[in-house]
Amino acid sequence: MSRRDELERNLAAVRERIAHACEQADRDPGDVTLVVVTKTHPASDVELLADLGVTDVGENRHPEAADKQAEVAASGASLRWHFVGGLQTNKAGAVARYADVVHSVDRAKLARSLDRGAEAAGRTLRVLVQVDFDTTDPGRAGVPPSDVRALADVIVGECRHLELGGVMTVAPLGQDPEPSFAHLREISADLARTVPTATTISAGMSEDFEVAIRHGATHVRVGRSVLGQRPVLQ
Ligand SMILES: *Cc1c(COP(=O)(O)O)cnc(C)c1O
């Protein structure tokens, strides 16, 4: 089977799963955006995905994301690029030049760096606050639920080149994702009451996106179910 056929088959299966989850949740599938996470996979895969109708792709590392974005843009394909990984402050300026949405803002310093980068690039960057619901592992990315409002205030109040787009989470490893996704939806509703642009709920990966859709996810980030296992990083 060609790579194109493989991706087409996997995409069809994922879209079917999304449609089924939406039906179960009485939601319109048009309200759920599939972000295909292409990290570690080559630009040629991204080009095939664009050809197969994918509009949104996700990456988690700079400069891999920058290189791929440039290569794909040169091929003529037009996509929205979502930066979904942990981000060092000193790389924020570079990411602000090519990302359309950054899902992983979890500290004021990073927000301010992205804001300066967006200003320098002459653009407005949509950002999400990453929320962490895991109380057992302090090393994880994301702010605890109680700190979302304070970070949102910095983004809305101080960062004129950022648009607060909503919230994102990665469910705690090895735990039932349901309570996290349910809580994220409450946080989102609270935020949206005062920030009209904060409409995005980014939640759910290959293993758990049906649960996320049941809890209002507007963006699901799916890697392996579309692209297969990732090559082992050297
Ligand atoms: C890799 C990654 C995904 C996709 O995970 P899969 O299990 O491959 O679907 C989603 N979100 C983030 C933040 C990721 O790093």
Residue pLDDT, tens place only, 26-42: 999 999 999 999 999 99
- Which pLDDT value is given to residue 138? 83
CA of 163 to the centre of ligand 1 (A): 23
Q: Is 212 in the pocket of ligand 1 (CB under 6 A)?
A: no
Q: How confident is the model at residue 135 (pLDDT cuts 50, 70, 90)?
A: confident
Out of 34, 35, 56, 84, mutate this one to test ligand 1's pocket (max ligand atoms within 8 Å of CB): namely 84
180 pLDDT above the threshold of 70: yes
Residue type, 159: C
> For 202-229, what is the mean pLDDT?
98
CA of 11 to the centre of ligand 1 (A): 15
Q: Is 177 in the pocket of ligand 1 (CB under 6 A)?
A: no
- Which pLDDT value is given to residue 215? 98
- Which pLDDT value is given to residue 105? 98
- Which pLDDT value is given to residue 231? 75
Q: Which atom of ligand 1 is nearest to the CA of 224?
A: 8
Q: Taking every pair of C-alpha atoms in the chain, what is the biggest distance, in angstroms?
A: 52
Phi, psi of 101 (to 5 degrees): -140, 135
Q: Is 222 in the pocket of ligand 1 (CB under 6 A)?
A: yes
Q: Is 159 in the pocket of ligand 1 (CB under 6 A)?
A: no
234 pLDDT above the threshold of 90: no
Q: Is 84 in the pocket of ligand 1 (CB under 6 A)?
A: yes
Strands 56-59 and 125-131, bridge-based pairing: unpaired
Q: Is 85 in the pocket of ligand 1 (CB under 6 A)?
A: yes
> For 168-177, what is the mean pLDDT?
96
The protein residue with its alpha carbon nearest to ligand 1, atom 6, reads 223
DSSP line for 18-86: HHHHHHHTT--GGG-EEEEE-TTS-HHHHHHHHHTT--EEEE-STTHHHHHHHHHHHTT---EEEE-S-
- Which pLDDT value is given to residue 22? 98
- Which pLDDT value is given to residue 185? 98
CA of 24 to the centre of ligand 1 (A): 24
Helix or strand run (H / E) with residue 187:
helix 178-194
Work out the mean pLDDT of the chain and round it to a whole number.
Answer: 97
> For 140-145, what is the mean pLDDT?
96
Strands (E), 121-199: 125-131, 162-169
Q: Is 205 in the pocket of ligand 1 (CB under 6 A)?
A: yes
pTM of the model: 0.98
- Which pLDDT value is given to residue 233? 62
> For 151-165, what is the mean pLDDT?
98
- Which pLDDT value is given to residue 26? 98
Q: Which atom of ligand 1 is nearest to the CA of 205?
A: 9
**Scanning the structure block, which residue is given the tokens 């690029």?**
81
d(CA 135, CA 221): 23
Q: Encode pLDDT of 52-104 as tens digits.
A: 999 999 999 999 999 999 999 999 999 999 999 999 999 999 999 999 999 99
- Which pLDDT value is given to residue 230? 87
Q: Encode pLDDT of 95-129 as tens digits.
A: 999 999 999 999 999 999 999 999 999 999 999 99
232 pLDDT above the threshold of 90: no
Determine the 3-state secondary structure of 158 from DSSP: helix
* Tokens linked to 126: 């949509």
- Which pLDDT value is given to residue 104? 98
* Tokens linked to 50: 């664009």
